[in-house]
């Protein structure tokens, strides 16, 4: 991270987005496997997931999972989720608030099912009925860089549709 865009919130948001797209589309990098937290009946529950696709225009992320997994029921009961990403090389943490749901559109699910191929399908014992596509639309980002002193922290909100950024201290 260069100090030049350290003061420019728009450039920072663009950089964060580009890091996410590179990790997801390039299928590597720590930002492809964040922790997904849901509100479970016994309290919060967090687990590692793979982000399968990202659409910056709609702010939509996709995660694939098994229909029998607890997260599916938890998201159905409470769609508010959080995602936490950590990149040890870039020394950057990204926390996201998002609203999630299981995709209901059969055509959309079938296209993902075919795209994962035989190896991916084997994770579901080849049973498409067990394959669930979760979509999460982010509403807020909390970004933290601990690579220098002082640390930098910024929050971006899309609650009014357009991104609004501000620096946070600490
Ligand atoms: C590196 C890694 C990637 C994972 N990716 C996924 C994933 O994309 N989808 C998924 O449902 N579980 C994934 N898991 C397993 C979850 O962390 C979790 O154990 C499982 O989904 C059950 O969670 P739940 O019972 O809370 O729903 C992954 C685990 C690891 C370690």
Query: 12-30, pLDDT tens digit by residue?
Result: 999 999 999 999 999 889 9
Mutate to test the pocket of ligand 1, among 29, 49, 123, 130 (most ligand atoms within 8 A of CB): 49
Domains, the chain, with CATH or none: 5-168 (2.30.110.10)
DSSP 28-96: -SGGGS-EEEEEETTEEEEEE----EEETTTTEEEEEEETTSHHHHHHHH--EEEEEEEETTTTEEEEE
In this prediction, residue 160 carries a pLDDT of 80
Enumerate residues 6+ apart whose C-beta is below 8 A from 119. none
Give the C-alpha separation, 81 to 115, whole Å: 26
Q: Provide φ and ψ at 108, rounded to 5°.
A: -65, -45
In this prediction, residue 2 carries a pLDDT of 46
Give the position, in ligand 1's atom list, of the atom nearest the Cα of 45: 26
Mutate to test the pocket of ligand 1, among 27, 38, 47, 83 (most ligand atoms within 8 A of CB): 47
* CB-based pocket (< 6 A), ligand 1: 33, 45, 47-50, 63-66, 69-71
User: Percentage helix, strand, coil, to 5, in the chain?
Assistant: 30, 40, 30
Residues of the chain with pLDDT under 50: 1-4
Longest Cα–Cα distance of the chain, Å, equals: 51
CA-nearest residue, atom 10 of ligand 1 = 65
Structure tokens that stand for 144 in this block: 């933290």
Q: Please give the model's pTM, rounded to 2 decimal places.
A: 0.95
Token look-up 């991916």 returns: 120
Digit-coded pLDDT (tens) for 142-168: 999 999 989 999 999 998 878 899 999
Instruction: Using the mean position of ligand 1's atoms as its centre, give its distance from the Cα of residue 88 in Å.
Output: 21
């Amino acid at each position: 991270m260069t100090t030049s865009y350290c003061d420019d919130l728009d450039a920072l948001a663009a950089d964060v987005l580009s890091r996410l797209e590179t990790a997801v589309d390039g299928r590597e990098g720590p930002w492809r496997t964040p922790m997904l937290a849901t509100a479970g009946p016994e309290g919060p529950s967090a687990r590692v997931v793979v982000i399968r696709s990202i659409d910056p225009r709609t702010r939509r992320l996709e995660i694939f999972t098994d229909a029998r997994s607890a997260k599916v029921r938890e998201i159905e009961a409470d769609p508010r989720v959080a995602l936490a990403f950590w990149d040890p090389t870039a020394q950057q943490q990204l926390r996201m608030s998002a609203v999630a749901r299981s995709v209901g559109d059969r055509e959309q699910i079938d296209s993902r099912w075919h795209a994962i191929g035989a190896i991916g399908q084997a994770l579901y014992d080849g049973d498409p009925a067990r394959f669930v596509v979760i979509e999460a639309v982010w509403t807020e980002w909390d970004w933290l860089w601990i690579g220098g002193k002082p640390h930098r922290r910024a929050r971006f909100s899309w609650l009014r549709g357009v991104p609004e950024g501000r620096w946070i201290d600490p």
